[in-house]
């Protein structure tokens, strides 16, 4: 008989969070999950087998469309900033699921790995609540606008290998947020939208830490497999991203997030505008 109950099993609790469809429920379950982990209430069942990755728990809205079909408006208008906030909220909602799945799917990692990714999931949940607060104050809510599904699609593509997941989700897709946020903050400053600026500054600071966690575990796996991290990263971009990435790249933030100068030089060589 298993000693692990649905309340005490790290993986069963994480699965519950992943399956939650209501955003507020997902947020509360995720933050409780990290709190219980920190309190030592959860155990790791190394014999656990994760379900095959498929669609994750999410509300019926927003409708998911191609990225080119996601609504866009000028940031100089109130509606434009609401649409931008909704787009970032959707990224953060996906980021909750991505962090949870990183903890759920790969069951043979060191304990510190689970602490890191449950922390990330909890912080992403907090970010989502900040952006929801902004939307609600403007008579909007998550789900009011169409959104894209690129982040979760990458989770599906990398479900078979933790090293590839660490390379391509935190260090490629999520790191893109480090590159674009400073430019968004400058535009918001012109509109004197101090509330939105404050939320994005919190998110940007935390996201540097999240990408750094991805860098840490990517390099851990490379060392374990006796692979060169720099060359392996370049090869993965070739294999999964058609050998090119959209720039420019924020060198300061990426260095703080665990990239080396050599890796940044490699990214610049692959840059498309």
Buried b (16+ CB within 10 A) or exposed e, 131-157: bbebbeeeebebbebbbbbebbebbee
Task: Give pLDDT, residue 68.
Answer: 77
Q: Is the pTM of this model over 0.85?
A: yes
pLDDT digits (tens, 9 = 90+) for 211-245: 999 999 999 999 999 999 999 999 999 999 988 88
Q: CATH class for domain 10-50+63-272?
A: mainly alpha
Residues 6+ apart with CB under 8 A from 7: 13, 41
> In whole numbers, what is the pLDDT of the chain averaged over residues?
93
Task: Give pLDDT, residue 1.
Answer: 35
pLDDT digits (tens, 9 = 90+) for 167-177: 999 999 999 99
Mean pLDDT of all residues in 128-135: 98
DSSP 58-126: --S-SPB--GGGS----TTSHHHHHHHHHHHHHHHHHHHHHHHHHHHH-TTS-HHHHHHHHHHHHHHHH
Distance CA 112, CA 114 (A): 5
């Amino acid at each position: 008989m298993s000693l692990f109950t649905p309340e005490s099993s790290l993986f069963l609790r994480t699965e519950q969070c992943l399956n939650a469809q209501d955003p507020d429920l997902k947020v509360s379950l995720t933050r409780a999950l990290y709190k219980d982990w920190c309190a030592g209430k959860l155990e790791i069942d190394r014999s656990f087998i994760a379900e095959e990755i498929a669609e994750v728990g999410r509300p019926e809205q927003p409708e998911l469309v191609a990225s080119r079909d996601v609504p866009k408006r000028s940031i100089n208008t109130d509606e434009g900033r609401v649409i931008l906030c909704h787009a970032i909220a959707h990224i953060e909602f996906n980021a909750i699921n991505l962090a949870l799945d990183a903890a759920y799917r790969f069951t043979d990692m060191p304990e510190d790995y689970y602490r890191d990714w449950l922390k990330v999931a909890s912080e992403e949940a907090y970010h989502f609540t900040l952006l929801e607060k902004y939307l609600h104050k403007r008579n909007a809510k998550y789900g009011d606008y169409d959104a894209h599904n690129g982040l979760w699609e990458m989770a599906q593509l990398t479900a078979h290998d933790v090293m590839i997941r660490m390379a391509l989700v935190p260090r490629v897709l999520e790191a893109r947020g480090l590159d674009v946020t400073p430019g968004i903050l400058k535009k918001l400053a012109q509109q004197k939208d101090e509330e939105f600026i404050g939320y994005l500054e919190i998110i940007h600071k935390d996201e540097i830490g999240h990408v750094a966690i991805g860098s840490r575990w990517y390099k851990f796996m490379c060392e374990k497999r006796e692979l060169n991290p720099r060359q392996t990263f370049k090869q993965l971009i070739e294999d999964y991203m058609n050998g090119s990435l959209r720039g420019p790249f924020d060198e300061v933030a990426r260095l703080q997030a665990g990239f080396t100068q050599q890796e940044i030089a490699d990214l610049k060589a692959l840059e498309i505008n």
